[in-house]
Amino acid sequence: MAPAILQLEADASSQNYVAAKQLAQSDSPSLLHRSLLEKPHRVTRASGSYLYLEDGRKILDACGGAAVAIIGHGNAEVAQAALDQMRQVSYVHTLSYTTDSAENLARSVLKPDDSGFDHGLVKAFFVGSGSEANDAAMKCARQYWYEKGQTQRRYFVSRLQGYHGNTIGAMSVSTMVGRKIPYQDILLPHVSHVSAADAYHGLKDGETEEEFTQRLISEIDAEFLRLGPENIISFMAETVVGAASGTMTAPKGYWSAVRDLCSQYGILLHLDEIMCGMGRTGTMFAFEQEGIQPDIVTIGKGLGGGYSPIAAMLINSTIVDSLRKGTSAFNHGQTYQAHPVSCATALAVQNILRRDGLLERVRCLGSKLHDMLSTTFAGCDYVGDIRGRGLFWSLEFMENKAQKSPFPREFHFGPRVQQAAFDMGVAIYPGSGAIDGLNGDHVIFAPPYTTTEEELEVAVSNVKKAYEEVVASYF
Ligand code: PLP
């Protein structure tokens, strides 16, 4: 079989022409990018809130990649921590060894934040990505029941409009339909999805927020009973939904009612805070603001702030005790888990977060970002919703605001706004057709916590211009 590049070149008269040309022109034809049609921008330097491209452009990173770069780019302290760790202990296998960097990072992420909230989590397990963290958590939850002799528990209940990762396990509980296309029939069979806690789309005419919450909770209750609570491993959801729904917070009372329901039936509550955790919403964990203690939490993105590939599963003492009384080992492991350099860089990021009072900064700048978005987009005919918390905000676009009917999926309103903003020098995160069955478009702002008010103003005003450009191209 011809190498991919030759096949594409041979196919140059077809629709692959652009891909062939771009790949042929690329000086890295060996790297498989997500898209075979589009050549990504080559970044040659990154510093603070800015990315510097090979073609000379300077981009304001108003989404931290994908809500990752919480302390901005190119931090010298973090680089030094990585270098020191590489010199000291670059790698050990966790089957027999541990390191100061892994132990200290675990202590750091489990330490309560400035609010002193008791989250009840007692142990951390570090892996390389959010998807891996969720797979580890799904396996750990299953093992918890196995150790208790409840091997009939096979079901995971999660929600529509949620995203938990790209591995087979994490994708099975996700519902971003576009990402599942070739894999749908090989995903885990024992997964069920209940409605998203999405008041913007889900609230019925005349329904109060409290009634909406009650309806969602009744649906979960009914689903638990349909499956048989004794057959369910965990309820798994994002506390504030990220990419799949556009910074969607749950209605009042939802999370405490979910916690009560899970406790009532003895079902584990696993909150995925890979995108919304590590201070993104203004507290270390988003669930603190809901006043609940989950059994399992997964974190990622902001943990290493993009300086190293690292994510974690955090578990409470109930789970630890069950493992200890059972086989006394979590039956899961990976070569690069708790990697010393990844842990050292994440620890440096977390130390900066606490030392520089960045949670307080998120709360303060977050409220300013909210004000800016509300003022700038007030009265815009095609901005249906402005929602979020902390430094995690979205605009959702609607062709008809009153009827809440979105733009046609094929138009890709969200990605067009993202592209137009990028052309003006501002990076935001797009979502299009990601909202299952609702065909919606949104864009996400998730800037570094170190960003400035002036940078937020530049980001918001350029996104407004980008929005106007896209509206003009549609009508
Ligand atoms: N969970 C959530 C909520 C996410 O937003 C993501 C990534 O976007 C993941 C899990 C998967 O993380 P990763 O891409 O690091 O595997």
Model-level ipTM above the cut of 0.90? yes
Name, of 37-41, 131-135, 405-409, the range with top average pLDDT. 131-135
In this prediction, residue 155 carries a pLDDT of: 98
In this prediction, residue 35 carries a pLDDT of: 81
195-252 pLDDT, tens digit each: 999 999 999 999 999 999 999 999 999 999 999 999 999 999 999 999 989 999 999 9
381-395 pLDDT, tens digit each: 999 999 999 999 999
Task: State residue 28 phi and psi, 5-degree precision.
Answer: -130, 65
Q: Is the CB of 135 under 6 A from ligand 1?
A: no
Q: How confident is the model at residue 177 (pLDDT cuts 50, 70, 90)?
A: confident
Q: Is the CB of 238 under 6 A from ligand 1?
A: yes
How high does pLDDT run on average in the chain?
Answer: 92
Lowest average pLDDT, out of 231-235, 359-363, 439-443, goes to: 439-443
pLDDT above 60: residue 9: no
In this prediction, residue 438 carries a pLDDT of: 62
Q: Is the CB of 246 under 6 A from ligand 1?
A: no
Percent of the chain whose pLDDT exceeds 70: 92
Q: If you take atom 12 of ligand 1, which residue's CA is the nearest one? A: 130
Give the H/E segment covering residue 119: none
pLDDT above 60: residue 23: no
- Bigger pLDDT: 236 vs 437: 236
- Checking 98-101 for CB contacts under 8 A at 24+ apart, the result is 98/338, 99/338, 99/340, 99/343, 101/340, 101/341, 101/343, 101/344, 101/347
Mutation probe of ligand 1 site: the residue of 127, 241, 297, 301 with most atoms within 8 A of C-beta: 301
Q: How confident is the model at residue 114 (pLDDT cuts 50, 70, 90)?
A: confident
pLDDT above 80: residue 379: yes
